[in-house]
Amino acid sequence: MRDRIKQDILNMADSTAPVIEAANDALWEFAELALEENRSSAYLRGILEKNGFRILPGAEGVPTSFIAEYGAGSPVIGLIAEYDALPGMSQEKSPVCRPRQEGAPGHACGHCALGAAVLGAALVLKDCMARQELPGTIRFYGCPAEETVEGKVLMSRDHLFDSCDAALSWHPNDISYVWARKSVALTGMRYTFHGTSAHAGLDPWNGRSALDAVELMNVGANYLREHIQPSCRFHYTITDGGRAPNTVPDRAQVWYAMRGPSRQAVEEIRQRLGKIARGAALMTETDWEETYVSGCYDFMPNMAMAQLLLDKMREVGAPRWTPEDRTFARALFSQIPQRYLDETCSSFGLGEGDLTDGLVNGIYDGYYRGGSLGASTDLGDVSWQIPVGCFSYASTVVGSPGHSWFYTAACGAGLGARGAQAAAKVLALAGYELLTDSQLLRDVKEEHIKALSGARYNCPIQ
């Protein structure tokens, strides 16, 4: 019986493949920046509404976030979608680096494919629930602004994940694997210094330079680097350095991003940088203030979810690349920098036989645990509230650098759609299991409670 239903799900996913491809193409074309995803969110919302989903508001004051729900009662299974693009990453649907529109945004993180696959999975699961008359609720989370790590944080602030039992998501990548490792927590802070302006030639002794304070803060911070855990890092950019060299700047600002394996580790760095800012202000006789920019939690893997996803990925197998996809992939792959290819192959233990036309042939066997992911994601915030399962599916050629034109090109040209079609199947199959296997859901939730070991999620935005 279950086998027949699984086969039904796979068949429905095959008939939904054109919808997924069309959604990927539409979102790719819209290429909207964080919190500006008006057309992208309206597109997804429209299809879900037309298919019988109830549309509910997302985070307060964030019109590009929304929830679409189907069914009633428990369990409540979440499907998490993203759809924002990156600034300056415009690229033609061509295997040659050529912006479509200079300086315009582009889907260099593949969130067009991400949103499209989650849409496809929601439609398939809904049909399956209707046919089987299954109890329970599926909830499509329309999450904006992942790139600025705030969409899901804002939705968390408004407690939108509280009544959800477990959630699934995925991310396009060059390798197909299950997320079984942590990502890092992040905090972004701006430090603004206020000094006294003066003519830099006539009477500089009357000036107190806010830019000097920024520079001294950065010097102090660079000395701090030696004395923080190797798993932590921070980076900064000067966002205001004054207007002209002949005037002592009375205002200057630096923006820091701090990353670490836990929120506590990041908070420690924030406090130490605060002391450095205070010291810089003292040295320059300026005033300083700090303002919070953004922050997110580390991703907490759930191994019961990981096992479920790995099983489903093995059932689905590699994306079904078309001959056109392969031609495109060969041309794209020929431009991958050797260093990137070598690094990826060595981290995932890939040999020559594991790739064809620059595309991975299968699913990474086992759990990739290669250290902590250096990047951050606001999916981490969700994973501290409810169990979350996530995986990556190959949607570009191996070695594609993250946030690069390779992703924009691949996702616009069919590779992304093929990854999304495979991912939709895994999401739908896993979603079905969570909806119908109460023991599995209990195991997943028990593991989550154990992993928290009494810690509580404290939303970085209040």
Q: Which residues bind Zn ion (CB under 5 A)?
A: 109
Burial class (CB in 10 A: 0-12, 13-18, 19+), 64: buried
Calpha distance 59→68 (Å, rounded) = 13
Complex with Zn ion: residue 109 or 316, whichever CB lies closer: 109
Q: How far is the CB of 266 from Zn ion (least distance, A)?
A: 20
Q: Judged by CB, which is closer to Zn ion: 211, or 423?
A: 423
Distance of alpha carbon 121 from alpha carbon 115, whole angstroms? 10
Closest CB 118 distance from Zn ion, rounded Å = 13
Q: Is the dihedral of CA 29, 31, 36, 42 positive or negative?
A: positive
Q: Is the dihedral of CA 332, 335, 337, 342 positive or negative?
A: positive
Nearer to Zn ion, 88 or 317 (CB): 88
Tell me which residue of 294, 406, 265 sits closest to 344, measured CA to CA.
406
* CB nearer to Zn ion: pick between 376 and 436: 376
The answer to whether the CB of 401 falls within 8 A of the CB of 390 is: no
* 70 vs 405 by CB, closer to Zn ion: 405
Q: Least CB distance from residue 402 to Zn ion, whole Å?
A: 8
Find the residue with minimal CB distance to Zn ion: 109
Minimum CB separation from Zn ion for residue 110, in Å? 7
Q: How far is the CB of 122 from Zn ion (least distance, A)?
A: 19
Q: Cα–Cα distance between 295 and 308 in angstroms, integer? A: 30
Task: Specify whether the CB–CB gap between 139 and 54 falls below 8 A.
Answer: no
Distance CA 283, CA 91 (A): 47
**Polymer length of the chain:** 462
Which residue in the block uniquely carries the two structure tokens 């949103």?
115
* Long-range Cβ contacts of 27-31 (<8 Å, 24+ apart): 27/83, 27/107, 27/111, 27/112, 27/115, 27/116, 28/107, 28/112, 28/411, 28/412, 28/416, 30/85, 31/85, 31/90, 31/104, 31/105, 31/106, 31/107, 31/112
Q: Between 242 and 295, name the residue whose CB sits nearer to Zn ion.
A: 295
Crossing angle of helices 415-436 and 2-30, in 10° steps, is 140
In the bound state with Zn ion, the residue whose beta carbon lies nearer, of 17 and 109, is 109
User: Is the peptide bond preceding residue 301 cis, with omega within 30 degrees of 0?
Assistant: no
Instruction: State how far the Cα of 370 lies from the Cα of 453, in Å rounded to an integer.
Output: 24
CB of 17 or CB of 149, closer to Zn ion? 149
Cβ 149 to Zn ion shortest distance, Å: 10
Report, in Å, the least distance between residue 233 CB and Zn ion.
19
337 Cβ neighbours under 8 A, 6+ residues apart? 399, 401
| DSSP 8-state symbol, 414 | T
Whole-number Å distance between alpha carbons of 393 and 319? 8
Tokens representing residue 313 in the block = 């990925």
Q: How many CB atoms lie within 10 A of CB 291?
A: 11
Between 145 and 269, name the residue whose CB sits nearer to Zn ion: 145
Q: For residues 109 and 409, which CB has a smaller minimum distance to Zn ion in the complex? A: 109
394 vs 94: CA distance, rounded Å: 18
- Closer to Zn ion by CB, 117 or 304: give it: 117
Report the nearest approach of Zn ion to the CB of residue 147 (Å). 7
**Would you say 110 and 396 are in contact if contact means Cβ atoms under 8 Å apart?**
yes
- The nearer residue to Zn ion, 109 or 398, going by C-beta atoms, is 109
Instruction: Tell me if 413 sits within 8 A of 328, measured CB to CB.
Output: yes
Q: Min. distance of Cβ 65 from Zn ion in angstroms?
A: 16
CA distance 166 to 152: 15
To the nearest whole angstrom, how small is the minimum distance from the Cβ of residue 86 to Zn ion? 9
16, containing H or E segment: helix 2-30
